Amino acid sequence: MTKPLRPALLSGILLAVLGSLCPFLWFVLTSFKSQIQVEAIPPTWWPDGSVGFYASALIEHRLLHYIRNSVIVAGATTVIALVVATPTAYALARLRMAGKAWILGGLLCVAMFPHIVIAGPVWQILERLGGLNTHWGLVLPYVSLTLPLAVWILTTFFQELPFELEEAARIDGCTGWQALYRILLPLAAPGLFTTAILTFIYAWNEFFFALLILTDPEHQTLPVGIALFQGEFTMPWGEIAATSVIATLPLIIIVLLFQRGIISGLSAGAVKG
Amino acid sequence: MRENDAMTPSTRDHATGWLMIFPALTFVAVFSLYPAMDSFLLSLYSEFPGSERSFIGFGNYAELFRDPVAHQALIVTLGFVLLSTTLELLLGTGIALVIHERFKGRGWTRAAVLIPWAIPTVVAAQMWRFLLNDQYGAVNAILFGDQVDAYVPWLADPWMAFGAIVLADVWKTSSFAGLLILAGLQVIPDETYDAARIDGATAWQRFWHITFPLLKPALLTALLFRTIDAFRVFDLVFVMTQGGPGDATQVIQFYGYKTLFTEGRVGYGTTISVTVFVALAIFSLFYVRTVGSKLLQREPA
């Protein structure tokens, strides 16, 4: 049912949408300008539609290379975090165990740690393991950083599934593992998917650990590349804008497609706690 | 095998359960718990690049207590936390009220509002840095148009630069606060408003007397999440100002990073980070104890 929009609501919607999108739209426009337009004072609003900055980002600034690194790191983090978090969440949601509340609470506390407090020792661990300037060296701490949220969201999803299904399976002699993989996992697919999306976004966007662990441009991810963008004489704003648009594009697509899942996933993590 | 048969289902559950939890606990123990404890130990030593590590007890903490740069960083951080979380809760409430209504195109509106949250912080930071650029920036163009002489170098002024960091953070994370508040709105049943509507209460009266009190748990949750997150602000400062001009935007996490990784003063750097950690832990505990227990009493569900 839709009512005609009240003026107050309409202006609220417009403010929220324009405020959210306009600043980034300016960056999108910038990415399609020519160098002369970017350096015009006062600035020009409308681009001439040149794709020169995309070309130079791809060729001179090796954009594909950064994209590849980001895909590897974010992809591996998502897969490993899900594989590790799923049994944990199942056990916390469904099995009779002592100390479950403590483990969940403890995970939430760990998620609140300031990153700087673990950064130094994590760096030293990775140095000893030979993990500095490697993809896996970044994936390991990322898995640890994303696990608390993943476990929380999956636990709430598992708790909402009906107990009867599983009871029947257990009476028929299924073990906990079998009940998890044969019965609950297919039912929890939407929850797994939401968790995967949130984990992927986190790993795709993370900057602090990536900056510390990947000092060699060969392995750096997109956020590090974007933050450390340097021109020879002036800031290459056009290339920065083009790279930023490309780094953001997958996220915009994800948000447009899975807005519903993201909202329910984020609020599940927060409200039930 | 016979032993296994003798086990009751619940003890078998227990074993399976711990096996299932074990990998996650290992990850968290190795890459979060151990590092946090190790940081605390490191903070008791003096260690410079090229010097031997020597135990100095709480010497680093004494130095931190006297360090004017650290005091400044702490004040900047607290100011940032207060200002940004306040604005984010206000705007977040507005966003939540809007996207909670039913209207045509609500899905698109929700997606649009989520985009700042999804954008990498580093991208948001570069974007605001360019928007606020003293020559090519859109903000100057909007405010002053062709009057080029009036253009302001926003990021070169201590107060303006601080404001810019707050602005970028508010733009980026208000929608996240909004989502947490939306979750609170969704659990308020529609009937709650019916009586008030019949009595002729205005929209504002309905919000203030019905929605707001029922929304408090969600608001307090959002406040806790945003406060803890704002304390860790780093990416925006790194990209937009590098802590400058002067030390005007040097937040504590950035000061810790510089001391630890740029200057290589391991002992003192970890002391800064451990102090932040302990302060946050005390704040969170206090918050959950006082606010959290009140919430639980009010809401038995």
Which one of B114, B151, B276 has the shortest CB-CB distance to A255? B114
Q: What is the percent of chain A with per-residue pLDDT over 70, rounded to a whole number?
A: 95
Residue B112: predicted pLDDT: 94
Read off the pLDDT of each residue in A112-139 and give the average, rounded to a whole number.
92
| Interchain pair B42, A226: CB under 8 A | no
Residue B287: predicted pLDDT: 84
In a domain, B21, yes or no: no
> pLDDT by residue (tens digit) across A28-49?
999 999 888 888 888 888 888 8
Domain count, chain B: 1
| Interchain pair A205, B103: CB under 8 A | no
Query: How far is residue B296's CA from residue B286's CA, in Å, rounded to a whole number?
Result: 15
3-state secondary structure of B49: coil
Torsion sign (Cα): B184, B88, B121, B260: negative
Residue A2: predicted pLDDT: 46
* Higher local confidence (pLDDT), B234 or B51: B234
Chain B residues in contact with A158 by the CB 8 A cut-off are: none
Residue B128: predicted pLDDT: 96
Q: Is it the case that residue B153 has pLDDT exceeding 50?
A: yes
> pLDDT by residue (tens digit) across B215-230?
888 898 889 889 988 9
- CB count within 10 Å of CB A7 equals 7
Read off the pLDDT of each residue in A194-203 and give the average, rounded to a whole number.
93
Residue B293: predicted pLDDT: 61
DSSP conformation class of B54: E
| Interchain pair B21, A103: CB under 8 A | yes
Chain A residues in contact with B216 by the CB 8 A cut-off are: none
Per-residue pLDDT band for A67 (boundaries 50, 70, 90) equals very high
| Interchain pair B136, A39: CB under 8 A | yes
B242 phi and psi angles, rounded to 5 deg:
50, 35
Query: How far is residue A238's CA from residue A218's CA, in Å, rounded to a whole number?
Result: 23
Q: Is it the case that residue B254 has pLDDT exceeding 50?
A: yes
Query: How far is residue B272's CA from residue B72's CA, in Å, rounded to a whole number?
Result: 13
Query: How far is residue A224's CA from residue A70's CA, in Å, rounded to a whole number?
Result: 10
B45 phi and psi angles, rounded to 5 deg:
-115, 160
Token pair, residue B124, equals 């948001």
Residue A94: predicted pLDDT: 80
Chain A residues in contact with B24 by the CB 8 A cut-off are: 84-85, 87-88, 107, 147, 151
Q: What is the percent of chain B with per-residue pLDDT over 90, rounded to a whole number?
A: 50
Least confident of B85-99, B173-187, B197-211: B197-211
| Interchain pair B239, A12: CB under 8 A | no
In a domain, B18, yes or no: no
Contact by Cβ (8 Å): B44, B56 = yes
Q: Is it the case that residue B299 has pLDDT exceeding 50?
A: no
Read off the pLDDT of each residue in B81-88 and give the average, rounded to a whole number.
96
Alpha helices per DSSP H over A161-218? 163-171, 176-178, 185-187, 189-205, 208-213
Q: Is it the case that residue A201 has pLDDT exceeding 90?
A: yes
Per-residue pLDDT band for B1 (boundaries 50, 70, 90) equals very low
> pLDDT by residue (tens digit) across B119-149?
999 999 999 999 999 988 899 989 988 888 8
In a domain, B150, yes or no: yes
Read off the pLDDT of each residue in B148-158 and give the average, rounded to a whole number.
91
| Interchain pair B123, A248: CB under 8 A | yes
Residue A39: predicted pLDDT: 85
Which one of A8, A251, A270 has the shortest CB-CB distance to B118? A251
Q: Is it the case that residue A96 has pLDDT exceeding 80?
A: no
3-state secondary structure of B114: helix
Chain B residues in contact with A9 by the CB 8 A cut-off are: 98, 101, 103
Residue A130: predicted pLDDT: 94
What's the half-sphere exposure (Cβ side, CA atoms, 13 Å) at B196?
A: 15
| Interchain pair A116, B256: CB under 8 A | yes
Chain B residues in contact with A16 by the CB 8 A cut-off are: 94-95, 98-99, 109, 112-113
pLDDT, mean over chain B: 87
Chain A residues in contact with B28 by the CB 8 A cut-off are: 107, 110, 144, 147-148
| Interchain pair B14, A107: CB under 8 A | no
Residue A4: predicted pLDDT: 58
Query: How far is residue B271's CA from residue A260's CA, in Å, rounded to a whole number?
Result: 43
Q: Is it the case that residue A137 has pLDDT exceeding 50?
A: yes
Per-residue pLDDT band for B3 (boundaries 50, 70, 90) equals very low
**Residue B265 contacts by C-beta under 8 Å, 6 or more apart in sequence?**
B47, B48, B49, B259
B98 phi and psi angles, rounded to 5 deg:
-70, -50
Q: Is it the case that residue B88 has pLDDT exceeding 50?
A: yes
Per-residue pLDDT band for B244 (boundaries 50, 70, 90) equals confident
Contact by Cβ (8 Å): B109, A5 = no
Residue B7: predicted pLDDT: 44
**Residue A105 contacts by C-beta under 8 Å, 6 or more apart in sequence?**
none
Read off the pLDDT of each residue in B177-192 and give the average, rounded to a whole number.
87
**Residue B222 contacts by C-beta under 8 Å, 6 or more apart in sequence?**
A270, B89, B92, B177, B180, B181
Q: Which domain holds residue B195?
A: 68-298
DSSP conformation class of A3: P
User: Most B CBs within 10 Å: which of A11, A15, A20, A127, as the mutation test of the B interface?
Assistant: A20
Nearest CA in chain B to A20: B113
In a domain, B116, yes or no: yes
Read off the pLDDT of each residue in A233-245 and give the average, rounded to a whole number.
89
Which one of A2, A121, A259 has the shortest CB-CB distance to B107? A259
| Interchain pair A42, B256: CB under 8 A | no
Query: How far is residue A12's CA from residue B51's CA, in Å, rounded to a whole number?
Result: 60
Residue A167: predicted pLDDT: 77
Q: Is it the case that residue B290 has pLDDT exceeding 80?
A: no
Nearest CA in chain A to B10: A96
DSSP conformation class of B46: E
Chain A residues in contact with B228 by the CB 8 A cut-off are: 112
Nearest CA distance, A166 vs chain B (angstrom): 14
Burial A60-71 (b: 16+ CB within 10 A, else e): ebebeebbebbe
Residue B4: predicted pLDDT: 43
Nearest CA distance, B244 vs chain A (angstrom): 16
Per-residue pLDDT band for A170 (boundaries 50, 70, 90) equals confident
Residue A232: predicted pLDDT: 65
Chain A residues in contact with B23 by the CB 8 A cut-off are: 84, 87-88
Provide ipTM, 2 decimals.
0.90
Q: Is it the case that residue A68 has pLDDT exceeding 90?
A: yes
Q: Tell me the sheet residues that pair with B55.
A: B45
In a domain, B42, yes or no: no
Q: Which of A151-155, B32-36, B209-213 has the highest mean pLDDT?
A: B32-36
Chain A residues in contact with B10 by the CB 8 A cut-off are: 96
Contact by Cβ (8 Å): B100, B180 = no
Least confident of A130-144, B67-81, B186-200: B186-200
> pLDDT by residue (tens digit) across B47-58?
877 777 888 888
Read off the pLDDT of each residue in B182-200 and give the average, rounded to a whole number.
82
| Interchain pair A226, B122: CB under 8 A | yes
What's domain A70-221+244-271's architecture? Orthogonal Bundle (1.10)
pLDDT, mean over chain A: 87
All structural domains of chain A with their residue ranges = 70-221+244-271
Read off the pLDDT of each residue in B185-193 and give the average, rounded to a whole number.
83
Residue A270: predicted pLDDT: 54
Q: Is it the case that residue B94 has pLDDT exceeding 70?
A: yes
Contact by Cβ (8 Å): B124, B237 = no
SS3 content of chain A, % helix, strand, coil (to 5): 75, 0, 25
Find the CATH number of the domain harbouring B209. Answer: 1.10.3720.10
